[in-house]
Structure 1
Amino acid sequence: MSRTRSANGRSSVYRDSSGIWHGWVSMGRDEKGKPVRRHVRGRTRAVVSERVADLERERASSAGLAAAHRRPTPREGPPRRQTLGEWLDEWLVLVKRSRKPRTFTTYDALIRTHCQQLRSVKLHEVTVRHIDDLLHHVATTVSPTTAGNLHRTLRSAFTVAVRRGLVSTNPCRYATVPRVAHVEVEPLSVAEVHRLLSIAAGERNAARWAVALALGLRQGEALALQWSDIDLENGTLAVRRQLQRHPWEHGCVESEPRHPPAECPQRHSGGLRFDDTKSGAGRRVLALPPQMVPQLLDHRRAQAAERLAVGSAWEDHDLVFPRPGGGPADPRNDHRVWKRLLARAEIREARLHDARHTAATILLAQGVDGRVVMSLMGWSQAVLLTRYQHVMDTMRVEAAAKVGTAIWGD
Structure 2
Amino acid sequence: MSRGVARTRAANGRSSIQRGSDGGWHGYVSMGRTDAGKPVRRHVRGRSRQEVTEKVAALEAERARSAHRPSSNQQLTLGQWLDEWLVIIQRTRKPKTFDTYTSLVRNHCGPLRSSPLARIAVRDIDDLLYRVAGRSPQSAVSLHRILRSALNTAVRRGLLVANPCAHAVVPRVRETELEPYSLKDCRRILLAAAELPNRARWSVALALGLRQGEALGLKWEDINFEQHQLRVRRQLQRPSWHHGCGEPDPDHQPAKCPHRTGGGWVLEEVKSRAGRRTLAVPPQLLQQLREHRRGQAAHRLAAGPAWHEHELVFPRPDGQPQHPSVDAKAWRALTQRAGVPPLRLHYARHTTATMLLAQGVDGRVVMGLLGWSQASLLTRYQHVIDPLRRDAAQRIDQAYWPTAESP
Superposed counterparts of 1:101-112, under 5 Å: 101-112=95-106
Task: Structure 2: state its 5+ residue gaps.
Answer: 17-32, 43-58, 65-69
Is it true that 1:298 corresponds to 2:291 in the alignment? yes
Task: Structure 1: state its 5+ residue gaps.
Answer: 1-5, 11-25, 35-52, 71-75
Aligned match of 1:166: 159
- Alpha carbons 2:229, 2:278 under 8 Å: kept: yes
| CA distance in structure 2 between the partners assigned to 1:327 and 1:312 by the alignment | 13
What SS does the corresponding residue of 2:262 show, helix, strand or coil? coil
Superposed counterparts of 1:351-366, under 5 Å: 351-366=344-359
Aligned match of 2:371: 378
Aligned match of 1:205: 198
Greater displacement, 256-265 / 303-312: 256-265
Aligned match of 2:265: 272
Aligned match of 2:118: 124
Measured against aligned partners, the alpha-carbon deviations of 1:215-243 in whole angstroms (never above 9, x if no partner) come to 11000000011111111121010111100
After TM superposition, the score normalised by the length of structure 1 is: 0.82
| CA distance in structure 1 between the partners assigned to 2:374 and 2:210 by the alignment | 17
- Alpha carbons 1:222, 1:321 under 8 Å: kept: yes
| CA distance in structure 1 between the partners assigned to 2:81 and 2:206 by the alignment | 44
| CA distance in structure 2 between the partners assigned to 1:152 and 1:27 by the alignment | 28
| CA distance in structure 1 between the partners assigned to 2:85 and 2:108 by the alignment | 16
What SS does the corresponding residue of 1:243 show, helix, strand or coil? strand
Q: How far is 1:322 from its partner?
A: 0.8
Greater displacement, 119-128 / 149-158: 149-158
Aligned match of 1:29: 13
Which letter maps to 1:329? Q
Is it true that 1:232 corresponds to 2:225 in the alignment? yes
Is it true that 1:96 corresponds to 2:90 in the alignment? yes
- Alpha carbons 1:84, 1:119 under 8 Å: kept: yes
Is it true that 1:82 corresponds to 2:82 in the alignment? no
- Alpha carbons 2:34, 2:156 under 8 Å: kept: no
Measured against aligned partners, the alpha-carbon deviations of 1:134-154 in whole angstroms (never above 9, x if no partner) come to 1111222x2222222211111
Greater displacement, 328-337 / 340-349: 340-349
What SS does the corresponding residue of 1:271 show, helix, strand or coil? coil
Aligned match of 1:219: 212
Residue identity (%): 54
Aligned match of 1:60: 40
Mark the structure with the bigger radius of gyration: 2
Change (3 A) 1:307 1:27: farther
- Alpha carbons 2:175, 2:379 under 8 Å: kept: no
Which letter maps to 2:89? V
Measured against aligned partners, the alpha-carbon deviations of 1:49-90 in whole angstroms (never above 9, x if no partner) come to xxxx9998632399xx955987xxxxx983633110111001
What SS does the corresponding residue of 1:246 show, helix, strand or coil? coil
- Alpha carbons 2:234, 2:269 under 8 Å: kept: yes
Measured against aligned partners, the alpha-carbon deviations of 1:190-225 in whole angstroms (never above 9, x if no partner) come to 111111111111122110111111111000000011
Q: How far is 1:349 from its partner?
A: 2.9
After TM superposition, the score normalised by the length of structure 2 is: 0.82
Q: How far is 1:27 from its partner?
A: 8.7
| CA distance in structure 2 between the partners assigned to 1:60 and 1:272 by the alignment | 42
